[in-house]
Chains A and B, each alone.
Chain A
Amino acid sequence: MRRFYIPQDTTALALGADAVATALCALGIEPIRNGSRGLFWLEPLLEIDSVAGRIGFGPVGAKDIKSILEALDSNPSEHPLFLGAVNEIPYLKSQQRLTYARAGLGDPVCLDTYRQLKGFIGLENALAMSPQQIVDEVAQSGLRGRGGAAFPAGIKWQTVLDAPANDTSSAPHKGQKYIVCNADEGDSGTFADRLVMEADPYQLIEGMAIAGLAVGATQGYIYLRSEYPVAYRLLNTAIQRAQQANLLGHNIAGSNKDFHLEVRLGAGAYICGEETSLLESLEGKRGMVRAKPPLPAIEGLFGQPTVVNNVLTLAAVSSILERGAAAYKNYGMGRSRGTLAIQLGGNIKRGGLIELAFGVTLREIIEEYGQGTYSGLPVRAIQVGGPLGAFLPEAQWDTPLDYEAFSAIGAMIGHGGIVVFDDSADMAAQARFAMEFCVAESCGKCTPCRIGAVRGVEVIDRILANENREENVILLHDLCDTMELGSLCAMGGLTPYPVRSALTHFPTDFNRR
């Protein structure tokens, strides 16, 4: 019997995957609701098992089902939506998938599928190791935090392993350490965390359990943004099944080790993606940024030693413990080891998830993978690293995606989001928006961010209205310096990046009046 697959991922659903599934069910075909492969320009992507492997059709609408079924019985390759073997699609075939190796292959919450696809091998290996051995393995892999700051994961874990939990605090926090997964993926242009959680949630669960074993933490929290209802549902189902299978909870896999895991929902505050603000929010408070030190690794959640890592960092730990540190370290360049989850979005023909070793250039990504803009107009600017990332003009597109190379041009890779703007984009409006966003989302704790952003919008408005333009441009640069140097966290500290880059590289947009 033929098996049909149609994803239950947010983007696939947003493009009508449920209607396709309903159309199949009406014909007596129960499709497997898999995760997405991340080739979002082909969603809804219908896949079918065949002798030649999995073949695909896309983007498919409910109206195409009849003709696809007919084509399957005669000559599938003649159907206009026929894509051939999905694994052979160049966009996918040319990637180096580690974290996303399983994405889209099967039902994301099916434990058997996960096991068949080499799931839980990393956890099994970790259960046979000492905490120090696990931390050493992660340190040797060269893994750096994927949330944006790129801090070496091994060093963070070592700090938590070495930090004694405070025994004087009140129950239930007494003597406790915590693993916190930052799944507050708020940056515009990013969906890599969402794809892991929706296509392969057990990988994250496994990574968190390994982290717990490594540092001696028995409680974990996934802080998930409320904008991801599908991920929320799938994570909760996956956690429940993992508990039933004794892979979470007391005495996991008969090892005498405990690890409890819970998903907590955010409430629409971008700032809660900043780790200390996230911890405040998890404690049930306003998401106000904390001054560092103390580092969360020493005094984190409820004052106890806490690992706070991004979804991708924790997911990568599963592969590292499965394949070994050396295998992971083989990917990448310089001090950026492993693979980067590049998320291509915005005004682009072929947007999606591209997992590659560090070192690929921006131009290769937008031209070879993206195939240019969706509108067909030339690309004008590319914003890398979310709303706090710089706008890069064409002269900078040959920079390799590497943490150090980007930092050398005053930009950052951040969480790996790439947003493409076509020729019609108004970069002055984008600079103003960067300040406006900071007004809306600042936690308000420090003055440069809280007041600076408001003044930033005002100054840009004056520049655009041609009121003392030259003086106001100097003032704006000065304000950017104050925000960058004086803010408590990256929100106020990095908002100047998009503003300055727009001013520097696209000055004519500020002189239209």
Chain B
Amino acid sequence: MHKKPIYKMPITEGSPLHSETIERLLTSYKIMPGGLLPLLHAIQSEIGYIPKTSVSSIARGLNLSRADVHGVISFYHDFKTQPVGRHRVQICRAEACQSMGSRQLEEHAHRTLAIDYHQTTADGQITLEPVYCLGNCACSPSVRIDDDVYARVDTQRFDTLIAALTSTQ
């Protein structure tokens, strides 16, 4: 775990604000055993994503190689390396929701929002993502919007929920 990069690439720093945030978070997380995931969650929760330019600072701070850090960020579905929409809308694709029509709901969402999964609406409001189970399988189909889960979401309820998001701006 103490690999040192042999060849040092020139470091491109992100915005000064970002590097300040990352340095502050590094101070609190580098002493935590296995702290990389908690650190990445913290960065994402403050900045909204994990800037690619932060990989070198994270690697240096945790005494890892940049490849290690990049490998972890790219392994997990949760971590984003680009800015995402103001709201994250996740549609459950797992079997219980499929048995209640989530495939139709997915199609409807793609059509009405005019985006595919992992894309953001043109107005920057909504990023659409698939999710595999929200643990709400007795009242499917389920949708999560930011930190709230919604049950029995048919196409009509989906439209209502989306309309509520865009009207509260």
Contacts and interface: CB of A to CB of B under 8 A. Distances in A.
A255 to B, nearest CB: 25
A267 B75 CA distance: 9
B162 interface: no
Interface in A316-355: 343-348, 351-352
B134 interface: yes
Nearest to B38: A264
B49 interface: no
Given A264-B38, A269-B75, A282-B34, A185 B135 contact: yes
A419 B99 contact: yes
Given A189-B95, A351-B138, A11 B151 contact: yes
Contacts of B152: 15
A417 B140 CA distance: 14
Contacts of A430: 95, 98
A387 B95 contact: yes
A324 B70 CA distance: 49
Interface string B127-163: 0000111111111101010011111100000000000
Interface in B27-82: 33-38, 40-41, 62, 68, 71-72, 75-79
Interface stretch (A46-54, A92-100, A222-230, A245-253): A222-230
Contacts of B35: 284
B96 interface: yes
Nearest to A223: B37
A338 B48 CA distance: 45
B94 interface: yes
A422 interface: yes
- Give the size category of A's interface with B: 35 or more
A346 B140 contact: yes
A14 B75 contact: no
Contacts of B98: 430, 433
Given A14-B136, A374-B100, A433-B95, A283 B34 contact: yes
A268 B78 contact: yes
Contacts of A254: none
A191 B138 contact: yes
25 contacts: A10-B149, A11-B151, A14-B136, A14-B139, A14-B150, A14-B151, A40-B139, A41-B138, A172-B33, A185-B133, A186-B132, A189-B96, A189-B133, A190-B137, A226-B78, A227-B133, A228-B135, A265-B37, A270-B132, A344-B138, A345-B96, A348-B138, A387-B94, A419-B96, A430-B98
Nearest to B142: A14
A227 B135 CA distance: 8
Interface in A261-275: 264-270
A473 to B, nearest CB: 23
A303 to B, nearest CB: 12
A19 to B, nearest CB: 12
A475 interface: no
Given A188-B137, A346-B99, A441 B132 contact: yes
A287 B75 contact: yes
A71 interface: no
B37 A267 contact: yes
Contact of A302 (B33, B68, B100): B33
A4 interface: no
A366 B151 CA distance: 21
A173 B32 CA distance: 12
Given A188-B94, A283-B33, 15 more contacts: A10-B136, A40-B139, A43-B139, A188-B96, A188-B132, A188-B133, A189-B95, A190-B137, A227-B133, A227-B144, A267-B77, A284-B35, A284-B36, A343-B137, A348-B138
Contacts of B148: 13-14
A284 to B, nearest CB: 3
Interface string A177-210: 0000000011111110010000000000000000
B152 to A, nearest CB: 7
B76 A287 contact: yes
B136 A191 contact: yes
A175 to B, nearest CB: 14
Nearest to B138: A351
B151 A347 contact: no
A343 B140 CA distance: 13
Given A227-B144, A352-B138, A186 B133 contact: yes
A187 B133 contact: yes
A351 B139 contact: yes
A158 interface: no
A335 B8 CA distance: 59
A270 B148 CA distance: 20
Of B71, B79, B135, most A-chain CB atoms within 10 Å: B135
A374 B41 CA distance: 38
B138 A345 contact: yes
A281 B34 CA distance: 8
A10 B40 CA distance: 25
Contact of B77 (A269, A348, A417): A269
A-B CB proximity, top 3 nearest:
A351-B138, A345-B137, A188-B94
B138 A267 contact: no
B132 to A, nearest CB: 6
Nearest to A227: B134
A285 interface: yes
